[in-house]
Amino acid sequence: MIKKPVLWTMVSLVVLASMMLVSCAPAATEAPAATEPPAAEPATEAPAAAEVPFTVMPGGELEKAVTGAYTGTTVTVDGAMEGNDPDGVKFSEGVKAFEDATGITVNYIGNKEFEATISVRVEAGDAPDIADFPQPGKAAGYVKDGLIADVKDFLPESWLSQQYNQSWRDMATIDGIEAGVFHRFNGKSLVWYPKDDWDAAGYQIPTTWDELMTLNQQIADDGDTPWCIGIESGAATGWVATDWTEDMMLRTTSLENYDAWVAGTLPFDSPEVKKAIETWSELWFNDAYVFGGRSSIGSTTFQAAPVPMFDDPPKCWMHKQGNFVTGFFPEGSEADVDYGFFYFPPVDDSYGKPFLVAGDVMVMFNDRPEVRALMEYFTVPESASGFLQGGGALAAHQTATPDMYGVDLEAGIAQLVVEATSFRFDASDLMPGEVGAGSFWEHITSYVAGSEDLDTALKAIDATWPE
């Protein structure tokens, strides 16, 4: 934490200037020497408003804001949370320090229909000052229309590179415009396991794909089933399989190919995408490795899939899912006792330790000094303190530290994030809706069910990509 006593600096400069003026003034008529110094006026303590509990970038609008330069102004933020829901409350807790330090009011006006209402507001000329987009791709149209400010116009390269891993900046860059700053996220590259039973069985955490496949066979040889997998999710059935595909793309090909796949320039029917899917298929389609076998995957809900891990003895031993999944674990399950987690192992060391994420990016529609000040505040982890302390999300900032987390489990996940070499956003969330939330879900589900072979499924997805 860095504190910036700006007001003390200003007071010191004023005093110094006064002394210089006195020393340069014409000599006055000599006054009789005082027999004793006059009584001093009681000293008044200088205000400490600039001593703030978050890092302040030198020379930016936030530095001015903490001196009171924008006191009384209001910044409006729109997003997908509602002010009185748990996430809305956590957001408010995170911006309270900013409001207290600057005198700027943050007016959050979010709602569950944000993705529809933001379009209406923008078209009506009533865009919020800042929008909290759950997916950076949703901001792309506004960037193309020239409605979004480039954060590099007021945040220098040195500051951005200090606060973020380059991958976060890459994901926020649209058509050459760094359209926003990431605030918080959920990690997806995680494998969960029944810790107490696991330790008793003597199983070791795998750190490579080969070690994971060896562990699969070891568990099968012990007469148990390694994995719990389910992809049923109503109209969204199949998204779990898209997550596995995305994680595997990051582990079997380059970030450039991943980005090209998201953009539609690397087709689904390419050797790279096919290899990624075939890699996880080795695990999914081995009936000895999946609880209920391949035929059960399509009919098992993603919520129910991990529950057999908690049976006594466990009916399965591993489940891959984002950090939100603990909300579906049996009531009373205790982290680090009943369950633990580990990083989904890399397949090819040359691609490092990538992390698949989904998260929120802040973009600025209206360029005013107080809005810039809040955008700058969103680049420090303290801005997400409500989520870090209350649980539910991780800080996207590489300057976040484990002690900022109020939930030990998420502090542990945050440590894995620190060790990650790159990040990429959930690809299906960035693709055109008819693909990412349409044909990709549909045809990957058909492939898992065995009603389509992989070549047919991939060609069918490509056929739906918009011109």
* pLDDT tens track for 322-366: 988 998 999 999 999 999 999 999 999 999 999 999 999 999 999
State the Rg of the chain over Cα.
27
Q: Is residue 230 in some structural domain? A: yes
Model pLDDT, residue 37 = 36
Which pLDDT score, from 0 to 100, does residue 25 have? 36
Give the integer Cα–Cα distance in Å for 429 and 356. 12
Residue 21 has pLDDT above 60, yes or no: no
Please name the residues in contact with 107: beta carbons below 8 A apart, sequence gap of 6 or more: 74, 75, 76, 77
User: Are residues 351 and 377 located together in one domain of the fold?
Assistant: no
pLDDT interval class at 15 (50, 70, 90):
very low
Compute the average pLDDT of residues 195-211: 98
Q: Give the list of residues 6+ apart from residue 195 with CB closer than 8 angstroms, or none.
A: 336, 337, 338, 339, 340
246/45: higher pLDDT: 246
pLDDT digits (tens, 9 = 90+) for 95-125: 999 999 999 999 999 888 898 899 999 999 9
User: 149 pLDDT exceeds 70?
Assistant: yes
**Calpha distance 70→320 (Å, rounded):** 47
Residue 3 maps to a domain: no
Q: Is residue 140 part of a domain?
A: yes
Please give the Cα distance from 392 to 402 (Å, whole number): 15
Residue 424 near residue 250 (C-beta atoms within 8 A): yes
Both 141 and 84 in a single domain? yes
169 plus 211 within the same structural domain: no
Give the per-residue pLDDT at 85. Answer: 85
- Token pair of 44, please? 């008044």
State the pLDDT at residue 50.
55
Asked if 53 contacts 350 with a C-beta cutoff of 8 angstroms, the reply is no
Say if residue 209 is in the same domain as residue 340: yes
**Does the residue 183 lie in any domain?**
yes
* Orientation angle between helical segments 86-102 and 369-377, nearest 10 degrees: 120
- Evaluate if residue 251 carries a pLDDT over 70: yes
Q: Is residue 17 part of a domain?
A: no
Instruction: Please check the confidence at residue 20 and state whether its pLDDT lies above 50.
Output: no
In the chain, what percentage of residues exceed pLDDT 90? Answer: 79
- What share of the chain has pLDDT > 70, as a percent? 89
Query: Would you state the pLDDT for residue 391?
Result: 87
Number of domains the chain contains: 2
- Per-residue CA distances from 426 to 175, 248, 249 (Å): 19, 12, 11
Shared domain check, 348 and 389: no
Q: Answer whether residue 89 is part of any domain.
A: yes
Check whether residue 350 and residue 366 sit in a common domain: no
pLDDT for 129 beyond 60: yes
Is residue 118 included in any domain, yes or no?
Answer: yes
**pLDDT at residue number 392:** 85
- Residue 232 φ then ψ, to 5°: -75, 130
**Does pLDDT of 45 surpass 80?**
no
Q: What is the pLDDT of residues 351-361, one digit of tens each?
A: 999 999 999 99
Q: What is the pLDDT of residue 423?
A: 93
Indicate if 194 and 284 belong to the same structural domain: yes
Confidence of residue 263 (pLDDT cuts 50, 70, 90): very high
Vertex 388: Cα angle to 48 and 418 (nearest 5): 105
Domain identity same for 322 and 181: no
CATH of the domain at 362: 3.40.190.10
Instruction: Please tell me the least confidently modeled range out of 244-248, 320-324, 363-367.
Output: 320-324
| More confident position, 222 or 30 | 222
Question: For position 68, what pLDDT does the model report?
Answer: 97
- Over 50: is that where the pLDDT of 145 sits? yes
Instruction: Match 């693709």 to its residue by tokens.
Output: 431
pLDDT of 424 higher than 90 = yes
Query: Span 189-217, mean pLDDT?
Result: 98
* 21 occurs within a structural domain: no
Residue 314: C-alpha distances to residues 91, 311, 360 (Å): 38, 5, 36
- How high is the mean pLDDT of the chain? 89
C-alpha 418/C-alpha 409 separation (Å) is 15
- What distance in Å separates the CA atoms of residue 306 and residue 99, rounded to the nearest whole number? 42
Cα–Cα distances (Å) from 413 to 185, 203, 422, in that order, read 12, 20, 15
Owning domain of residue 342: 190-355+427-462
Using the predicted structure, report yes or no on whether residue 27 has a pLDDT greater than 50.
no
Determine the pLDDT at residue 414: 87
Nearest alpha carbon to residue 273 among 467, 437, 462: 462
Pair (269, 330) in one structural domain: yes
Q: Which is nearest to 225 in space by CA: 299, 300, 283?
A: 283
124 and 262 both lie in a single domain = no
Give the per-residue SS3 of the chain. Answer: CCCCCHHHHHHHHHHHHHHHHHHHCCCCCCCCCCCCCCCCCCCCCCCCCCCCCCCCCCCCHHHHHCCCCCCCCEEEEEECCCCCCHHHHHHHHHHHHHHHHHCCEEEECCCCCHHHHHHHHHHCCCCCCEEEECCHHHHHHHHHCCCCCCHHHCCCHHHHHHHCCHHHHHHHEECCEECCEEEEEEECCEEEECHHHHHHHCCCCCCCHHHHHHHHHHHHHCCCCCECCCCECHHHCCHHHHHHHHHHHHHHCCHHHHHHHHHCCCCCCCHHHHHHHHHHHHHHCCCCCECCCHHHHCCCECCCCCHHHHCCCCCCCEEECCHHHHHHCCCCCCECCCEEEEECCCCCHHHCCEEEEEEEEEEECCCCHHHHHHHHHCCCHHHHHHHHHHCCCEECCCCCCHHHCCCHHHHHHHHHHHHCCEEEECHHHHCCHHHHHHHHHHHHHHHHHCCCCHHHHHHHHHCCCCC
pLDDT score recorded for residue 104: 98
Are 292 and 265 in a shared domain? yes
For residues 385 and 249, state if they share a domain.
no
- In this predicted structure, the answer to whether residue 132 has a pLDDT above a threshold of 50 is yes
